[in-house]
Structure 1
Amino acid sequence: MEHQTKHQVLWDGASQNYDEVRAISGVDRVLPISEFHKYMSSVLKNGAALAVDVDALMDAVVYEPDLRSIHQMLYNGGLTHQPLNDKIDQLRWRKSKHEQDLMRETCRIGSESLNALLREGCEERNESNIVGFLDHQCRRRGADRLAYPPVVAAGNNANTIHYISSNKPIRKTDCVLVDAGCDLHGYVSDITRCFPTSGRFSAVQRTLYDVLNDIQSQLLHYVQTVRPLRLNELYKHMVERMAADSLSSIVFFRKDLSQKELLKECDRLCPHHVSHYLGMDVHDTPSIARNIECPPGVIITVEPGIYIRPENTAVRNEFRGIGFRIEDDVLLTETGAEILTANCIRDPEDIELVMDS
């Protein structure tokens, strides 16, 4: 770690000292960065193999010229090294009891903050107002910060999946999609809810929302009951349920679509995965494949979406320009699954009731 000068302490404040870092990290030996070259030279002489976070080192070399000699030493000195990323991801994938408790708390704070937004309402506001409101709500409940730049997308903006501009006016007739979470001691929640600006869904909005909400309920039931559970199979189940429910309930596709075309269109309506791993990062442990069995202790998101852009002629006109996503966080257990965001209001009747109160 870097040794702070008096000038740095004056302007930036004192950082943790070596003993403090050793105590909180569990690392046996902490050295100043100025001794790193000397230390690595001694390791090289012993012919040791090192595990290296290659991506982090490459990024550091770009922004920290002083590390270039270390990079050259590792890659040009004949040193045997192996990537560290996969090993760390394996350790982070299954959460310990303490980590599970932290995830319960960060999901509780995120859920309560979104519920507070529903109670507050957002008639005739700007998307950016909601960003500020959520940041305040998360922090006042004990979180360190928002987990990521939230998506606050009114009306057709919701059809841009990672819409983070969040600075447009909200119309009275809009539904608003809010994808937000909080960061508590390095562990994050990731929740998405949709609600009508006016406090009441229009008939078309309600029809589409009911379809998606029912799909979410079926997916959560799937996660709680199906074993082995694999994320790729969960996505396949979502597309199949979307097609079946759309056909049997509202048939908002053109009636001349074949079954194959319908399944393809459902895949186009929700082009993102329905789930990802969650923990210290929003998209946690990226090296863990989606096609392997998820054991107890893993936390995942469940987030079906329906995005109908104005130019999508495969869908009836009245549904175009609407984008919905519902996202919950789920802890897999020995006996099923625990919905960590179950207290975040989701059903349309409850949304309207809270917004009307």
Structure 2
Amino acid sequence: MSSLTDLLPHPIVQAPMAGGVSVPQLAAAVSEAGGLGFLAAGYKTADGMYQEIKQLRGLTHRPFGVNVFMPQPEHPGAATGSTGAAGAARPCAAAVEVYANQLAGEATWYETELGDRDSGRDDGYDAKLAVLLDDPVPVVSFHFGVPAPDVLESLRRLGTLTLVTATTAEEALAVQEAGADAVIAQGVEAGGHQGTHRDSQENDGAGIGLLSLLAQVRETVSIPVVASGGIMRGSQIAAVLAAGASAAQLGTAFLATPESGAHPAHKQALTDPHFVRTELTRAFSGRPARGLVNRFMREHGPYAPAAYPEVHHLTSPLRKAAAKAGDAQGMALWAGQGHRLARDLPAGRLVEVLVAELQEAATALPAGGAGR
């Protein structure tokens, strides 16, 4: 089976951005330019994922990846509130109910209803795995946890490379021990959801910067590492390669491209001087995710409970209504810390520019300093 670097003419991975951003057109453009394009299966049905894979295969014959969200365990803590079908009380139900009451004004403002907080915790994981095992793709990555070793082995036997996100050296070690082919070291600078394996409100704001994380991970595991978090320029790619990464994963850099499925207001906000900074927030999903600070985040972030995916389901209609209205102040404007460096370039051209910048930066390093 080929390694990750064998698949890539260039050490550039397009991050899978859920919510309609990582569409087949974007993944195809990146793969055609010599990077690794990715589809995001998160929040899609298994059939929706399959249809996008079919569409992508019609656009490129180059390798690509599909990202899958891990099922979420029940929240720890005392059981309070409503009960499930088996009569077992659901933890965090009371906190979610309080947050729902706080969001009632948003629902009125956007003339919509709050979503069904009990819409499921597994994101169709088993059905998506069945599709990926029946009709294998070159690469599959996992977010929010580590798959069972037998899952990773089943994919490997089919020739699929497996990657798993980690935000600490300890998580990276768990990824290696489970048998994944590579680990994605996600620094706290990254936009969108942090891929922590166990979500705890006690760890809010305790993320590790990418270069520090990369050093810790490289000293802990022997499998290849993909560096992710705030990378927007070829010189940064050169830096993480010099620090031991095999490739760099970029999300926000591709979010602004014409091929991206991001809402126009989201793309414009990346360089809009009204949006001056990013923060990690639970406001939209109940899990830590980095986005541009807007009204919704300021008003609701401090009160959002650690309850994913309940809060995600709860706010989904609000986010859709805000997007329909073009109201960036009510949207989840996921973005990494380097968002002001976003460039409005076609995705393929952006890969070319990044490669040129990488090569220029690599020539300034001592011999062998930016190897893969």
Q: TM tier, shorter chain?
A: under 0.3
The TM-score normalised by the length of structure 1 is 0.25
**Larger-Rg structure:** 1
Q: Whose helix proportion is higher, 1 or 2?
A: 1
